[in-house]
Structure 1
């Protein structure tokens, strides 16, 4: 039985959060604390931590599917709630890193912040692969926000038919975002200047 009133109650919040998060992240991504006279050491230790958070999210998503297929709703709920919490933790760490650190350029082996011609030649078409993975990761990470929230609201509203229907779309996209988050980190990690 569909709990339309609960879903309608949360719709305005889902829309607001789905717009506010990407906008705020985009704004904060451009803000560097040092430009405001705030002397904070770069949080260069965060990328491997938030990449691990993405990896754990992917594992939890798969574990949640296994749990529900085995009829274990309690563990499914636990895994999914933890996956949402890890995704939020990732977001906070990602923004904190970028507010305290300069962006890393893929292929910048001499760490001068520029991709020189010799570096372009050195990485070749791998840069195109990296950019394609990164772009799809970013676009889908924005698209997944309302999908996760709608899926979650349908579950807490005990509308399991609608929950199952949307989760078949939400799951592979969220899994892709989590896995490509790890791949992006592994590809760019050699170019971080610690």
Structure 2
């Protein structure tokens, strides 16, 4: 496969995923009237997948520093698969769950009253300071992950290293902050 094809493929996948997520978050793709019984478990699954990916990324870094290319590659393949499963689960949750989940929303109406806003206070600000970079970087890292993964599998080591210098810290932040975001928003799930 040519580099041109790979870059076009990565761009297409990235645009598609971002478009689907935006449409789901804006409720422009209709979901079912009633969510299946397993739906409330998806956010916890996503947090577990993110946490596992965080650990695997750190193990992968350690293994490459030790010169163990085979284990580094295997860990990255598992991490890539788990991150892909996360993405499917994340999209599925937002397709199935139509309720707005808002940090500080104690009664589950998707809006913050003045009392709820005051009650959430600075923790809501901290939550948003973690959440917004998490969202932006999650979108930005997707093409970097796909390209660096491809380069690594093709043993294009120098191209892989150049991409990973950016992809690794961003991917690590996204997976770790995903767990923090889940733990912070969890008390405000109303399902």
TM-score normalised by length of structure 2: 0.91
Residue 62 of structure 1: aligned partner: 58
Please list, as runs of the form range in 1=range in 2, the aligned pairs for 1:107-126 lying within 5 A after superposition.
107-126=104-123
- Structure with more relative contact order (C-alpha pairs < 8 Å, separation 6 or more): 1
Please list, as runs of the form range in 1=range in 2, the aligned pairs for 1:30-109 lying within 5 A after superposition.
30=27, 31-34=29-32, 38-41=33-36, 43-101=39-97, 102-109=99-106
Equivalent-residue separation in structure 1 for 2:41 and 2:176 (angstroms):
20
Deviations 1:61-82 (A, max 9, x none): 0011111111111111111111
Structure 1 position 9 matched with structure 2 position 8: no
Equivalent-residue separation in structure 2 for 1:90 and 1:54 (angstroms):
7
Any unmatched runs of 5+ in structure 2? none
Equivalent-residue separation in structure 1 for 2:100 and 2:50 (angstroms):
19
Post-superposition offset of 1:39: 4.1
Equivalent-residue separation in structure 1 for 2:51 and 2:16 (angstroms):
25
Aligned length: 187
TM-score normalised by length of structure 1: 0.90
Any unmatched runs of 5+ in structure 1? none
Post-superposition offset of 1:176: 0.3
Post-superposition offset of 1:6: 4.1
Equivalent-residue separation in structure 2 for 1:97 and 1:110 (angstroms):
21
- Runs of at least 4 residues of structure 1 off by over 4 A? none
